[in-house]
Amino acid sequence: MSVSILGSRESGQNIRDTNVRAVQAVANIVKSSLGPNGLDKMLVDEIGDVVISNDGATILRSLEVQHPAAKVLVELSRLQDQEVGDGTTSVVIVAAELLKRANDLVKYKIHPTTIIAGFRLAMKESIQYIKDYLSVKTESLGKDAILNVAKTSLNSKLIGAESDHFASMIVNCVEAVGVMGASKEMKYPIKSIKVLKCIGQSAKESVHLNGFALMTGRTAQGMPTSIKNARIACLDFNLNKFKLQMGAQVLVNDAKNLEKIRLRELEITKERIEKVLKAGANVIFATKAIDDFALKYFVEAGAIAVRRVDKKDIRKIAKQCGAEVLITLMNNEGEEVFNESSLGSAEEVSEERLGDNDFIFIKGMKHSSSQTLILRGANEFMLDEIERSVHDAICVVKRVLESKSVVVGGGAVETALSIYLDSFARTLGSKEQLAISEFAESLLVIPKTLAINAAQDACDLLAKLKMYHSASQNSSDEKKQEYKYVGLDLANGKVRNNLKAGVLEPTISKIKSLKFATEAAISILRIDDLIELAPKPEKERDGH
Amino acid sequence: MKAANPEKGLANEKQKSIRMTNISAAKAVADTVRTSLGPRGMDKMIKDSKGEVMITNDGATIMKQMEVLHPTAKMLVELSKAQDIEAGDGTTSVVVIAGALLNSCTALLEKGIHPSQISDSFKIAGDHASKILEEMSVKLDLSDTTSLEKIASTSLASKVVSQHSQELAPIAVRAVMSIVSEGDENVDLKNIKVSKKLGGTVDDTELIDGLVFASNHASHAAGGPTRVENPKIALIQFCLSSPKTDMENNIIVQDYTGMDRILREERKYIVNLCKKIVDTGCNVLLIQKSVLRDAMNDLSLHYLAKHRVMVVRDIEREDVDFISRTLGITPIAHVDQFTSNKLGSAKLVEEETVGEGKIVRIKGCSNNSPQGKTASILVRGSNQLVLDEADRSLHDALCVIRSLVKKRALVPGGGAPEMEMSQKLLELSRTLTGAESICVRSFSEALEIVPYTLAENAGLNPINIVTELRNRHTNGDKHAGINVRRGGVSNMMEENVVQPLLVSLSALNLATECVRMILKIDDVVMVR
């Protein structure tokens, strides 16, 4: 007799099969977008919004998968995105392949726990092997290495053709925001890089700007377009016509009084503005609204006022130009004053027009460290995708600059690990051996998929790759040692030394994706029961 | 008279079938959780009625989520809950044992033994088994931290987060030990606050020296400080915003000067409130969440930020007690009572960015209030599923340590105590006669389910393992159990696989009681 529950229950081999099938389905979706020759997906949501992307995390996030096991995979790519920023597709593919092979092993009557133990061991060995033999220090490669890392990441994206242009822009950008952290190590806070999108012109016209930019125009046409030696005030309150708060009512007996009250309402705001201007401010950023009538005071004073600036932006501006974000003008005695000390300064604040949009540029701030990238593109979908690609590349560059260690891309690491694990498995006498050799085999899915996506002969290339790596690991000849850097050359359908060709990825990205993929596969493998409770029926309306 | 006999037979028939249905319903529940027993147990994925997914291996959680329908099956769910409350761990084993006992009942009932006789014999067997357990237990000294950590890691070894047991076990031990004083017979786990924060990995879980707010952060609106050294902390329960009367109220303005007056008065009111606070030397202000009014408004935030007072708002009402105890302060309900002697001190208050969110941490607080000490743990995890499971596992580990405080004795793990009980009960059954002997014997056989399942879940051959164990125990090797790591039988005490006596004891007693209760039911009446 089975348990009676409100819902359905699946257990044992059934659930493992269903889970593996669901996971496989998810992986198959992103499979074709792996690598430099990967294709893009067009996703249309229920409202009709279109997203074009080949970023694994983005695709999976938009999919809204239902199956709980598949959700684990979506979560996995999100995690990789968060922790590393790149490699979101490959992590999903590896996890799915691991699961598929594990499930086959279970069918051969190997207990899941044995497989799990084997996978854990294989993961540990691989990470150690990457650290000891496969990673290369960036110092030994010269400055180009970092550029190449950015290029490798960009190559697989929509803007692969312009990867040179973007790579140098991104590397400059990330290097410029570097600060010395507390522990005497360089930190690269990528939050200091502002990426703005602007429709028009080609992707190649994207520019890198030293300074801060806002994607809004000045509020009134009468204001100057550029102010040198700007004195900046950052206001976090309303400059609308003053309104009494809730609970206060205006009751007048006399029509004259009504007019007076109306005037006073304007006056209160005007007084505030005058206080700010009197202190010497000539650039005013406000997070909230500025009323139209209030604009004339700014115009008269020859100041630039910008309204509805994002709160995060205004804090950054304030921090960098030395201003103070004020939420009220109150002083210690409860009076309203504006002190000159609350002002910040910058060399120039100007409005410029790019494409269809106006931008406010703030240059030469006191503690400036922020960088701005303005992306151009033919349409919105393209811009969104460029933004995602640039984000990935920025993350990758940051990782490399911080960890100073890279591995060779193009399937080299996976093949090397596969060969190594295969021979490692043979040193074990237990059942784990089978699990480890399946793990080794699973890793080959990456070079295989890369080759297939590039319309090359996967079998042929894989055989060659394996040959080189096996030669490198089995001989002490120095020349053959170099073969461990051999990876795929997808454009020409050959294998080559990818270290020399400059196909590089951050070590940490490879290590983390291996770890995450194994963990995800294990957590799905451990499940032997799925209990789905029926949704509760909605309460009937009682007619009221 | 003639008609009465078949009816009586019918009634007997009905009682029998109800007993059988009950038993098989309960057994079905036990079978569900059986696969998740032990360090190599599998997990269950549960999709609840709202569509949210949970992956867990904790018996009590699985049962709670499953929403079984059959009334007897519900009793087993309750059983696991009871074990959770009593010992906190062993929630799966208790159900598995109950299932095995019920299974043996079926055979006994078919032999024609009367249910109450079975029930009584089970009581004898259960009592005897507890004695055996206590005899084989080893005394433990609470100052022996390494053994405590070993026990905590045994409990964690069976969870999803098992690979992090190295980090979590010492945390659990230190947390409980920090709030226990010499001679305590019990620990109130409410004094350990476990906060969860998404981001990072389970390795980043830490025991906080002081207090942590995982869902509150310092107010940034006015650019106030986010780090204060040697803070003077106050916890207030009143609002720093413009006053409101209880009833619907209106301020009527008839003149334009009235508008100015309102503005000025409001500012003055706030300034006065804040001034009193600042004057006491307070520089960190914790404010309880307020539903009816804004707890803070822009003016007060601005004033406090100007005087370098850090503001942490939206403190939950239920946390107030814990916070005030940790900091050794009393919450302040009105500004008139705001005096400098109500301020608490610490070494550092700091806001930190973790993952995508922020936390506020108070380090080095005095933590010696008369109402008892407290401890805080911050659990981290890369996604909600892992985070929740880490939280549940940590709770189990804390409970395990708590049960050691309650009863300071250990038994070996790995199925050793069950096997030992089974052997000793078998000896007992030989000294008895009649139905009692058969029942005790069945009871002893049923206990073998635990080592059997452990072996099965670990991918070992259960028959070989259980027979070997039986052999070792008959030859007097009390501590022989299943070594899951190496796949054989070895001495559990040497392998450091140990568990608190209380967990095994309460699992045995609760399971026996529950089975006896189910046995005694001979009719189910559905009442609409």
Token pair belonging to A134: 């496969």
Q: Between A449 and A523, where is the model more confident?
A: A449
- SS3 label, residue B170: helix
Q: Tell me, yes or no, whether B125 and B224 share the same domain.
A: no
Question: Is residue A113 flagged as an active site residue?
Answer: no
Q: Give the Cα separation of A30 and A80 in Å (integer).
A: 15
Instruction: Choose among B84, B86, B126, B97: nearest CA to B37.
Output: B97
Q: Is B75 on the interface with A (CB under 8 A)?
A: no
Q: Tell me, yes or no, whether B121 and B46 share the same domain.
A: yes
Q: Tell me, yes or no, whether B134 and B226 share the same domain.
A: no
Report the pLDDT value the prediction gives residue B1, as an integer from 0 to 100. Answer: 43
pLDDT at A417 over 90: yes
Q: Tell me, yes or no, whether B507 and B423 share the same domain.
A: yes
Q: Mark residue A464 as left, alpha or beta (left: phi above 0; alpha: psi -120 to 50; beta: remaining).
A: alpha
B398 within a domain of the structure (yes/no)? no
B396 within a domain of the structure (yes/no)? no
> Of chain A residues 277-316, which have a CB less than 8 A from chain B?
315
Lowest mean pLDDT among A186-195, A468-477, B189-198, B216-225: B216-225
B263 within a domain of the structure (yes/no)? yes
The pLDDT-based confidence of B225 (bands split at 50, 70, 90) is: confident
Global pTM reads: 0.80
Cα dist from B141 to A385, B136, B138, B405, B410, whole Å: 62, 16, 10, 9, 10
Arithmetic mean of pLDDT over chain A: 84
- Please count the structural domains in chain B: 2
pLDDT at A162 over 70: yes
Arithmetic mean of pLDDT over chain B: 84
Query: What is residue A64's DSSP assignment?
Result: -
Residue B142 Cα, gap to closest chain A Cα (Å): 34
Q: Tell me, yes or no, whether B252 and B342 share the same domain.
A: yes
Cβ contact B28–A120 (<8 Å): no
Lowest mean pLDDT among A362-371, A414-423, B109-118, B268-277: A362-371
Q: Between B171 and B262, where is the model more confident?
A: B171
Q: Which residues contact B44 (CB under 8 A, 6 or more apart)?
A: A527, A528, A529, A530, A531, B32, B33, B36, B55, B56, B57, B62
Cβ contact B48–A533 (<8 Å): yes
| CATH number of the domain enclosing B421 | 1.10.560.10
B238 within a domain of the structure (yes/no)? yes
Q: Between A12 and B200, where is the model more confident?
A: A12
Report the pLDDT value the prediction gives residue B35, as an integer from 0 to 100. Answer: 86
The minimal CB distance from A527 to the residues B48, B55, B251 is found for B55
SS3 track for B202-262: HHHCEEECEEEECCCCECCCCCCCCEEECCEEEEECCCECCCCCCCCCCEEECCHHHHHHH
Q: What range does the domain containing B304 cover?
A: 220-348
The pLDDT-based confidence of A96 (bands split at 50, 70, 90) is: very high
B449 within a domain of the structure (yes/no)? yes
Angle between helices B91-110 and B71-86 (to 10 degrees): 140
Report the pLDDT value the prediction gives residue B509, as an integer from 0 to 100. Answer: 93
Report the pLDDT value the prediction gives residue B4, as an integer from 0 to 100. Answer: 47
Cβ contact B50–A268 (<8 Å): no
Q: Which of B293, B316, B348 is the last residue of a domain?
A: B348
pLDDT at A190 over 80: no
Q: Tell me, yes or no, whether B333 and B225 share the same domain.
A: yes
Lowest mean pLDDT among A237-246, A403-412, B449-458: A237-246
Q: Tell me, yes or no, whether B437 and B508 share the same domain.
A: yes
pLDDT at A544 over 60: no
Beta strand residue intervals within A223-379, DSSP E = 226-235, 248-250, 283-286, 304-306, 325-326, 344-354, 357-365, 371-377
Report the pLDDT value the prediction gives residue A419, as an integer from 0 to 100. Answer: 92
B224 within a domain of the structure (yes/no)? yes
Report the pLDDT value the prediction gives residue A136, as an integer from 0 to 100. Answer: 86
Give me the mean pLDDT over the B380-387 stretch.
Answer: 79
pLDDT at B167 over 70: yes
The residue of chain A nearest to residue B24, with distances taken between CA atoms, is: A1
Task: Output b/e per residue, A173-200; b: 16+ Cβ within 10 A.
Answer: bbebbbeeeeeeeeebebebbbbbbbbe
Q: Tell me, yes or no, whether B132 and B241 share the same domain.
A: no
Report the pLDDT value the prediction gives residue A538, as an integer from 0 to 100. Answer: 65
Query: Would you say A405 and A137 are in contact if contact means Cβ atoms under 8 Å apart?
Result: yes
Report the pLDDT value the prediction gives residue B414, as an integer from 0 to 100. Answer: 86
Report the pLDDT value the prediction gives residue B248, as an integer from 0 to 100. Answer: 65
Query: Would you say A172 and A347 are in contact if contact means Cβ atoms under 8 Å apart?
Result: no
B186 within a domain of the structure (yes/no)? no
Q: Which of B306, B321, B348 is the last residue of a domain?
A: B348
| CATH number of the domain enclosing B242 | 3.50.7.10
For B228-240, the pLDDT digits (tens) are 888 888 888 888 8
Q: Tell me, yes or no, whether B323 and B417 share the same domain.
A: no
Q: Is A14 on the interface with B (CB under 8 A)?
A: no
Q: Tell me, yes or no, whether B344 and B415 share the same domain.
A: no
Q: Give the Cα separation of A262 and A182 in Å (integer).
A: 55
Token pair belonging to A56: 């694994």
B90 within a domain of the structure (yes/no)? yes
The pLDDT-based confidence of B118 (bands split at 50, 70, 90) is: very high
Report the pLDDT value the prediction gives residue B528, as an integer from 0 to 100. Answer: 64
Name the catalytic one among A58, A86, A89, A489. A89
**Chain B residues closer than 8 Å to A72 by CB:** 55, 385
At residue B505, φ and ψ (nearest 5 deg) are: -65, -50
Name the catalytic one among A86, A236, A384, A392. A392
Q: Which domains are seen in chain A, by residue range? A: 212-367 (3.50.7.10)
> Which residues, listed in sequence order, are joined to residue B361 by a DSSP beta bridge?
B212, B350
Q: Which of B333, B348, B363 is the last residue of a domain?
A: B348
Question: Is residue A55 flagged as an active site residue?
Answer: yes
Report the pLDDT value the prediction gives residue A489, as an integer from 0 to 100. Answer: 86
